Amino acid sequence: MTDDQHARGDAPAATLPSTLQSRYDQMFPELAPQEIERLRRFGSIRRYADGERLSRTGEVGRSMFVIISGHVAITQRDGLGHITPIVDQGPGRFMAEVGTLSGRAALVDGHAEGDVEALTITPENLRRLLVAEAELGERIVRALILRRVGLIESHASGPVLIGSPTSSDFALDSIPAVLAITRDPYIVYTSNIFALLGLRALYFVLADVVQRFRYLRTGLAVILCFVAGKMLLAGTIDVSVTVSLGVIVLIVLVALAASWAFPRQEQAAR
């Protein structure tokens, strides 16, 4: 990183997903000193030496780090060990991922460049912060979702369409399904906020529906294959929103109709 990049907390331009370049400031917002003061009651100050790891890919349960002084280099490491710079987080920036909310494994590495002082906020306290500080919480959640979208576009994260009803990532990890319909970050963000409000409550309904409709799982698998194929061929074949929605609705209707026409033996006996 150059001194100028350190000063502004810039990311290398080549690593920024094309659809998110205009929302960079929302992905990596800089908190004002008074905002950081409001966050202090949720965490504790910790110091890190030059080169010390704040997070490592695959590690679980790491905290959110609000940088007070110094710089943290965020990098992405693939399966072959190749390291790609993502962003330099300076004073006022915070380091966290969607998985931080529930203690999920980290998808990026972060290490101190020089001495670093940071406010560390545990996943439990981060959830409390989002409730107690609504305005700041909204900015933080927006940034976390946009960062996950960026990692998905760089093929660092895969889809999880159905999960445990107690998982905080139940709605957020369905972002790839949203990207099958649109790449507009605003729509991805707002749709997942609404999903967080109601999707987890519908989990138990969906679980019962899966049992009643025997071919619904097969239909969902076909939809997942369609989504994966569309994302892989995005640069070659352009599938419109209308076509995408039509295919998904058609697959679901066929799966439901087949389940109704050919029920399980115990259901037919009733």
List, in order of start, the domains of the chain with CATH numbers.
3-134 (2.60.120.10), 172-269 (no CATH)
Which residues are CB-neighbours of 90 under 8 A, at least 6 positions away? 6, 7, 8, 9, 67, 70, 71
What phi and psi values does residue 119 have, to the nearest 5 degrees? Answer: -90, 115
Q: Is residue 75 over pLDDT 70? A: yes
State which H helix or E strand residue 46 sits in: strand 44-48
Q: C-alpha distances in angstroms, 254 versus 3, 29, 171?
A: 58, 45, 25
Give the Cα separation of 118 and 43 in Å (integer).
10
Can you tell me the mean pLDDT for 250-265?
86
Q: Is residue 204 over pLDDT 70? A: no
Q: Of 14, 12, 26, 29, give the one whose Cα is nearest residue 74.
A: 12
**Residue 193's pLDDT is what?**
63
In one-letter notation, the amino acid at residue 62 is R
**What is the percentage of the chain residues whose pLDDT exceeds 70?**
65
Report residue 121's pLDDT band, with 50, 70 and 90 as the boundaries: very high
Lowest mean pLDDT among 9-13, 110-114, 207-211, 243-247: 9-13
Dihedral Cα 235, 15, 106, 2, nearest 10 deg: 180
Give the Cα separation of 98 and 122 in Å (integer).
13
Helix, strand, or coil (residue 151): helix
**Residue 220's pLDDT is what?**
84
